Amino acid sequence: MPAAFTHPGAGMNPQAAPPSTTVAIDESTAGLARITGIGTAIPATAYTQQELLDEFQITDPRVRSVFLNSAIDRRGLVLPPRLPDGSRGAESQGDLLRKHTTQGISMGTEAIAACLKDAGATLADVRYLCCVTTTGFLTPGFSALLIRELGIDRHCSRLDVVGMGCNAGLNGLTAVATWAQAHPGQLAVLACIEACSAAYVFDGTMRTSVVNSLFGDGAAAVALRSCETSRDGGPRLLKFSSCIVPDALGAMRYDWDDAVGRFSFYLDPEVPYVVGAHAEIALDRLLTGTGLRRSDIRHWVVHSGGKKVIDSVRLNLTLSRDDLRHTTGVLRDHGNMSSGSFLFSLERLRDEGRVNPGEHGVLMTMGPGSTIEMALARW
């Protein structure tokens, strides 16, 4: 059932929100948390959009158009098992939840290992582990399962962030950065783990087809420390901000669908416009009190939410296509991997070698709530 929308600005009164923390952009930020390592992981199997149309024998021209005009070339996915006739079998809700756990542990393990290697750290250094996921439900959560799987110290502090969707990576990063800042020198790790193929429903409707054409599996992890004085390395996280649009609460959701007897994603067609209409409000809120102007932001690390979402953000923030080159690149190569997508873009920005010490960047995610999360970073 479509979400009830009013005007995108209705219900949003930024003046009524509590004031954000003002951050002085000087040497006093040396104690803030800094990202010291990044690692990513995808499944062993990936498919083009045409291959997926062929796999599921999709002939509906409307559905085919959605797949083929998504700006996605290829996505990592774990598809249902093949039946003797070569077709793909149906997965029960139990099968999907087991896939979420199995694939999540596999990708999470790989992403954390790559992140620690990049940070020059080991599993023995990890003192805090935050795991983020939305594409399945499990108790105990990924943090406990990965601590056992990886052999991390049993006294490692931990947090599981579940059910916050594509914006959850920045929600988790807020908690991890705060912990790292409160524990100088100790290593904290954030792992965003999304087996989106464990959340698929195949019923031939446009509702599920839009979702099935967009999401891919992937995991990403970052390591953080505070109290390092070097100007080299990854960015320090200066400030976070959040903007919720309560009138669009149901526009993006993953909940139980009685019609199909399982959990199902829903994306309202108005999502790109709701996100775009509030992006400027969220950015102004983030920069308030920093002394920075929009023109001072050199780097943009934006969630790969989908072609229309990216276009809407770009137009509303008057960004160039080059500003969002990594966002569109990640969408093209992996699809929307929910909470960890923006970290894939951050990894590409790091690997590109175009960032100079002292430059500022904005990390941005959007998701259910509907919300826009942002972080201000300085390299």
Q: What are phi and psi of 377, to 5 degrees?
A: -125, 155
Give Cα 301 to chain centroid, integer Å.
Answer: 11
Q: Please give the positions annotated as active site.
A: 166
Strands 157-162 and 262-267: what pairing?
A: unpaired
Backbone torsions φ then ψ of 208, nearest 5 degrees: -75, -30
Among residues 150, 74, 78, which one has the least CA distance to residue 110? 150
Separation between Cα atoms, residue 190 and residue 112, nearest integer Å:
8
Burial group, residue 295, by CB count within 10 angstroms (0-12, 13-18, 19+): exposed
Rounded Cα gap, residues 75 and 374, in angstroms:
26
Can you tell me which residue has the tokens 């087991």? 98
Kindly list the distances between the CA atom of residue 192 and the CA atoms of 89, 209, 327, 376, in Å, as whole numbers in the listed order: 28, 24, 17, 19
List the structure tokens of 249.
């609460």
